[in-house]
A and B are shown apart, each in its own frame.
Chain A
Amino acid sequence: MSLKHAIRAATGLALAFVGTGATLAYFEESIPMSLNPLYAKTMADHRAQELVFDRLWFNDAITNELRSRVVQKYQVAEAGRAVEITVKSGIRWHNGQALSAKDVCFTVDAMLDPGTPSTVAAHYREFITGCEEKGPQVALVRFNRVLPKPRERLGFPILPASEFNSTAISPDLQFSARPIGTGPFNGKRGLRMVTFDAFANTHHMPKIVQMQLQEGGDPLVQTKTLINNNVQGIVVVPPPQRPDLSASDDVSMKAYDLRSWWYVSVNSNKGALSDKRVRQALNLVLNRNELRQYSIGVKPGDKNSPCEFISGPFIPASPYYNVEVPVQPNANLSRAEGLLKQAGLEKLGGRWHKDGQAITLRVGMLANLNHEAPDLLSQVANQLGAAGFDRLTSKISADEWDDSVMAGQSDFDLVIGKWSFGLVEEVNELFHSKGRQNMFRFASSEVDQLLAEYEDAVTDTEQRDAYHKLHKVLNDQLPYLFLWKLDTKSAWRTEVRGNIVAPYYYFTEIDAWSVEG
């Protein structure tokens, strides 16, 4: 590390110390499994990595404008099939080395390396073909097609070339526990805690000296610990604990926009469910008001509800949401019955049968969603039971979810889940017949065509129109029964100031955070 940088860093840290000298401790949903951005699996991983790394581009938390802390300038090249990026000089990695174009290209090469078994990288492989260093600070990133808004697609964190021997990056390298980034904090994962030490840089000046993350245990105990000022924040507060925290004068609740929506995915390749009318009937069987009331605690007519019903795969605030497609808040059992009979099902002894066989629906739900929506699985199952379907319910572990359900190999009929958008609000992977996240291999030529229309769209309006049509078609074909969008809430002590919570990544604006008192 050069003397100049050492002085700069020391000054920055000293300023930070004079500013607050504070440590910020908070509870997370779980301790991050990996601090290597290539192996981010959970939202806790993404949030922790946001403190350690800089993404090439990010969305401003307030204006939603695309910005970068590491890119000085960029220009579209090769007729829209490449972007030339000039990274800023003077930015240091946590190991003291300077950020350069070599690191940008190393990151791209690592993501493209077939020896890097990363789901994160798999997404970028879809459209990035390579990277070339044009100068010490200039990198040219190439795509396999023209991308109308390339910056939106380049939101990956940059990795340090100096820390790796090869572009084939394995998840069990020590980098996963002791990462090196250019972000505002240098992170170290322990067995129960992750510690983030402030690292002043030319592009970051955190006011908090140290942050500490622990896995929160029992939500009751977490709540009490926060109220007793033994911790400063809880990132995700389950709905049952929100009233207690809202009532405390020392705690303020913050909305955390995960851009997520909840759904019941339907196996449209299995038995009676392959008939669209049966799926539509199931949609009419669900009483969403009741589900919401008993699992989230929101009654019909509640003002400022954190939970709004949806009729398609976007959140209502999204420009892609088609407001003309109505939601289905209540059940309509008579209409559902009519549709089921039209589909050739018979009701014998109060149970629906197809070809003489009673229909038993296997319903699953990702296990950790039970914290946010307690008993949702049993409620959905009860409503299906009341409508005349036998059912087998099952919680699904995270491993089974990734390995079997999302890989399209599960035998469930219905799966309750939550989808969170990242930077880009795209649903192609969910609904395209060849989509990597099309969990039941739903296939519709009409949907594929609309998704292609979106891909080929050049303007925002064209994209929006394509997705509006998609919304309508999906509401008819129902590969998913769309439930609601649920706001996540965080709780922070009032001593924590300037705590702007960025959508999805949370800590994007951590430089502005401070702790008083």
Chain B
Amino acid sequence: MKRWWIRPLVRIGAAVSLPVIVPAVITVFIWSLPGDPASLICPPNVCGGTEALAERWNLDGGPVQFFLGWLSDAARLEFGNSWRLHQGFPVLELLETAIPTTLTLIALATAIVSLGGLGATMGWLPRRIDPILRVVGLVPALVLALAGAAIIELTFGFGSFSDSGRLARLAIGAAVLGLSDGAFTGAVLGTRTTFETESKQRYVGIAILRGEREMTNTWPNVAPALIGQLRARILHLLSGAVVVEVVLRIDGLGDLLWGGTLRQDFGVVLAAATLFAVVSAVLLLIQATAETLVALHVRKAPQGVRLEEGP
């Protein structure tokens, strides 16, 4: 492709704008929900003060006013207090707990998934176990998460929210995310298929005849695809994290998003959604950087090649 830099540039542009566009889109969505948070506290025909509350929460001027007000406060890291989900808690405090929790959960799950990809690349996972992997991948995250939650509660009892209990929940959550819904299976089969397809290309055969290694030739070409796959898997894990966090009662971003949306706690939802967008943006930047480096590497003139002059 002549203008190879367009794709990475678009990714960088998207990454920069996501932290603003995503909360704006989410504002439009949650604004359309029936009822409004102030009247959920107390319907106007039952008690007074609802208008004053709507004004306090900046709900009285429409979604644009609300969003712009939220955005300017968010720029100063002022997210206010939770309205309904964890009433009275500063949203920033909620995020300070949720961010490392979700990052740890996703990192552990990604490690499991990446191990699968590595295993496939290095040939540690033979083809004959593919049917077993497919069966394991069929189990929905929900079943494993429910069983995991019950085991934790029975094992730790009331201490299931102590430090060790929380660690256990995270570990089980990561295992559930990494193994179920085809995450591990997809990593193994997807990585293997990508390498196999690339290995069948003619240039690989020629490189092998030249005495070069297959991996050194295929790796730069499959890297963008693999990074793209990894990014897609991480986003898929983030999506699945919502269910796992709610069922396993892990205090992460997914749990905040779910509970906040259900209870129309706009401040919590927007803050958590923005963080999701930031994670996506970071992944996009990593992907764009990798694409750029690979493209530069591929286009670099080879060293130490002597061109034969014609007769």
Instruction: Mark A residues whose CB is within 8 Å of B.
Output: 25, 33-36, 39, 113-119, 121-122, 125, 168, 170-178, 189-193, 212, 214, 217-218, 220-221, 224-225, 228-231, 399, 402-404, 406-408, 436
Contacts and interface: CB of A to CB of B under 8 A. Distances in A.
Contacts of A118: 42, 47, 49
22 contacts: A33-B84, A36-B87, A39-B41, A114-B48, A117-B48, A122-B48, A125-B47, A170-B56, A171-B41, A171-B83, A172-B88, A173-B88, A174-B88, A192-B249, A218-B149, A221-B149, A399-B35, A402-B43, A403-B40, A406-B43, A406-B46, A436-B46
B81 A174 contact: yes
Interface in B50-101: 50, 52-53, 56-57, 80-84, 86-90, 94, 97
Contacts of A122: 42, 46-48
B150 A221 contact: yes
Contact of B87 (A33, A113, A436): A33
Contacts of A230: 154, 156-159
B38 interface: yes
A191 B97 contact: yes
A221 B47 contact: no
Contact of B49 (A168, A191, A221, A224): A168
Nearest to B52: A115
A212 B162 CA distance: 12
Interface of B: 35, 38-43, 45-50, 52-53, 56-57, 80-84, 86-90, 94, 97, 149-150, 153-154, 156-159, 161, 249, 251, 263-264
Contacts of A407: 43, 45-46
B153 A221 contact: yes
Contacts of B40: 399, 402-403
Contacts of A406: 43, 46
B42 A119 contact: yes
Nearest to A232: B158
A34 B42 CA distance: 14
Nearest to B54: A117
Nearest to B50: A117
Nearest to B156: A230
Contacts of B49: 113-118, 168
A503 to B, nearest CB: 25
Nearest to A225: B157
Contacts of B87: 33-34, 36, 39, 171-172, 176-177
B80 A172 contact: yes
B46 A119 contact: yes
A171 B267 CA distance: 14
A188 B280 CA distance: 35
Contacts of A408: 45
A212 B35 CA distance: 34
A172 B83 contact: yes
A421 to B, nearest CB: 19
A220 B149 CA distance: 12
A118 B87 CA distance: 14
A217 B42 contact: no
